Structure 1
Amino acid sequence: MRLANTDIRALHVFQAIVEHGGFAGAEISLGLTQSALSLHLKKLEERLGFTLCQRGRRGFQLTDRGAIVYRQARLILAELDSFEESLSELRRRVTGKLRIGLVDNTVSNYDFPISEAISGFLKKMPEAEIEVVVDIPEHLETEVANNNLHLALGPIIYHREGLQYRQFYVEKHSLYCGRRHPLFLDSDDEPKLSVLRQHPMVVRSYGGDEELGIIKNALVGSRVSSMEAAAHLILSGSFIGFLPDHYARRWLQVGEMRNLSGSDLALHTAFFIITRSSRQKQPLRDKFMQELVAILNRRLHEG
């Protein structure tokens, strides 16, 4: 069987379905409907002459042959990406798509260098495409490990084998309540821990251990997977919770939130550049990394 462009596209779809454990996650990742994903998978199975997976009420499960095809597809698609980037390097121009992963709500942080780095990268590499994926840290690490992202920027959950982590930034988080919360008009500038423990607290599904390490025995009222969800709950007046200072600034300025943190309640979250540990050159990633590091070094010297 000779691979056509349609086969390569179908293998990309199949790989995404497997790595997301079914169609739901792949829909978001690829921007395709479930019917389109099913059509790609059906055509691939017809080309191969056998079933790749079982899908139904019991969920998604690879067949034995499907597992073999998945392993081979990962190798083939990784080699194709590498081949395309190598050819571009030979032509002294970089083409292809750079895939970057970010955690949510970094756009309000003027000190976060990603927008400036993207601008500089695209000015120097005008023929390159760029894709930005926003997700929770755990998923970003998985996507880098699976070679679906060139790099990710954010806090880390696990130190995964096969990945490299380079710290480049520290983000300060403080404890906040909304205007409708009983503590908003409290006369105490820095409410005592014993008082804070009486109020339901929203914590992140990632990073929650750090938050609960600062306010031990907190009354956990809700767990969320994004800063936006935490902000909604805090603004409701029913919860206290930690938010990045740059993100909460807009509500502080209009009197919709209050900072409850004293000197002992600040939380500092380290951000890392996460890449795969590989000696193989990746021109797109390497060019972007050069741009990012140059910005960080310049800011360091500017003080």
Structure 2
Amino acid sequence: MRLANTDIRALHVFQAIVEHGGFAGAEISLGLTQSALSLHLKKLEERLGFTLCQRGRRGFQLTDRGAVVYRQARLILAELDSFEESLSELRRRVTGKLRIGLVDNTVSNYDFPISEAISAFLKKMPEAEIEVVVDIPEHLETEVANNNLHLALGPIIYHREGLQYRQFYVEKHSLYCGRRHPLFLQPDDEPKLSVLRQHPLVVRSYGGDEELGVIKNALVGSRVSSMEAAAHLILSGSFIGFLPDHYARRWLQVGEMRNLSGSDLALHTAFFIITRSSRQKQPLRDKFMQELVAILNRRLHEG
């Protein structure tokens, strides 16, 4: 079977459906209706001569052959992206899609100048596309290692072999409670650890060890995988928890949260630019990193 342009498009659609666990997420990601997605998938199955997935009341599920096609499709499409970038470099203009991974809720942080870097990058590379993926650090590292992301920005979880890590700033996290929490109106500016241990603490699934190192023997009330989930639980008044100061500022300003941290109750999380260790040039990634580093250096000199 020789791949036509329609086959490549159908493989893109199939990959998106699989990676979003069904049609709903892929519909938003690709900007296509479910009927259009179904048509692409049906034509691909007709071309291949077998069923790729089961769709019904039990949800979306790959067939054995579908799983093989998905793995091969990822390799083919990644190679096509790489080929397109190589051709673009030969033509002395950079096109293609830059895929960046970020951890959640960084947009409120001035020290995380991704939007400024994206703007500078697209002004110099107007023909390039850009895709931003938000996920937990563990998944971002995996996606960079699997060549699904050009780079990711966030804290380190595993320090994997084959990846490069470049620290670019440190984020401060303080301990907070919501206005419905018993500690909100407590007169003591810095509640003692013995008092804090009596209240359920919300910790992140990817950063709990660090948090529990600050409040030893804490009463863990919930584990979450995002800052937004932690904020909801803290605002409920049923939990205390650590949040980045830049993220919690909006609730502090309107009296919805209180900072409980003393000098010994702060977390400092290092953020890194994470890329694959490879000598192969990646024009899109390298140009974006050049813009990002230039912004960071300028801010450093500005103080």
Alpha-carbon distance between aligned partners in 2 of 1:227 and 1:258, rounded to the nearest angstrom = 17
1:230-274 CA distance string (max 9 Å, x none): 112212222111000111112222222111111111001111112
Q: Which residue in the other structure is 2:23 paired with?
A: 23
Contact 2:16 2:26 in 1 (8 A): yes
1:110-140 CA distance string (max 9 Å, x none): 1112111111111111222222222222222
Shift of 1:96: 1.9
Distance change in 2, residues 1:173/1:91 (3 Å): same
Shift of 1:109: 0.7
Shift of 1:50: 2.6
Identity across the alignment (%): 98
1:126-165 CA distance string (max 9 Å, x none): 2222222222222222332333322111112222333322
Look up the SS of the partner of 2:210 in the other structure.
helix
Gaps of 5+ in 2: none
Distance change in 2, residues 1:175/1:284 (3 Å): same
Deviates more, 1:7-16 or 1:242-251: 7-16
TM-score normalised according to structure 2 size: 0.89
Alpha-carbon distance between aligned partners in 2 of 1:18 and 1:160, rounded to the nearest angstrom = 26
Gaps of 5+ in 1: none
Contact 2:78 2:148 in 1 (8 A): no
Distance change in 2, residues 1:137/1:36 (3 Å): farther
Contact 2:145 2:276 in 1 (8 A): yes
Shift of 1:291: 0.7
Q: Which residue in the other structure is 1:150 paired with?
A: 150
Shift of 1:19: 4.8
Alpha-carbon distance between aligned partners in 1 of 2:144 and 2:263, rounded to the nearest angstrom = 36
Shift of 1:192: 0.7
Distance change in 2, residues 1:83/1:185 (3 Å): same
Shift of 1:182: 1.2
Distance change in 2, residues 1:233/1:67 (3 Å): closer
Contact 2:169 2:270 in 1 (8 A): yes
Deviates more, 1:5-14 or 1:138-147: 138-147
| Aligned-CA RMSD value | 2.4
Distance change in 2, residues 1:235/1:274 (3 Å): same
Distance change in 2, residues 1:25/1:214 (3 Å): farther
Deviates more, 1:102-111 or 1:18-27: 18-27
Distance change in 2, residues 1:141/1:92 (3 Å): same
Deviates more, 1:160-169 or 1:110-119: 160-169
Deviates more, 1:79-88 or 1:153-162: 153-162
Q: How does 1:99-178 map to 2 (within 5 A)?
A: 99-178=99-178
Shift of 1:188: 1.5
Distance change in 2, residues 1:252/1:12 (3 Å): same
TM-score normalised according to structure 1 size: 0.89
Shift of 1:177: 0.9
Alpha-carbon distance between aligned partners in 2 of 1:255 and 1:13, rounded to the nearest angstrom = 46
Shift of 1:14: 3.0
Alpha-carbon distance between aligned partners in 1 of 2:205 and 2:271, rounded to the nearest angstrom = 17
Distance change in 2, residues 1:39/1:155 (3 Å): farther
Shift of 1:21: 6.0
Q: Which residue in the other structure is 1:91 paired with?
A: 91
1:18-57 CA distance string (max 9 Å, x none): 5556666655654556655444333212101233445667
Alpha-carbon distance between aligned partners in 1 of 2:24 and 2:145, rounded to the nearest angstrom = 20
Number of equivalenced pairs: 303
Look up the SS of the partner of 1:40 in the other structure.
helix
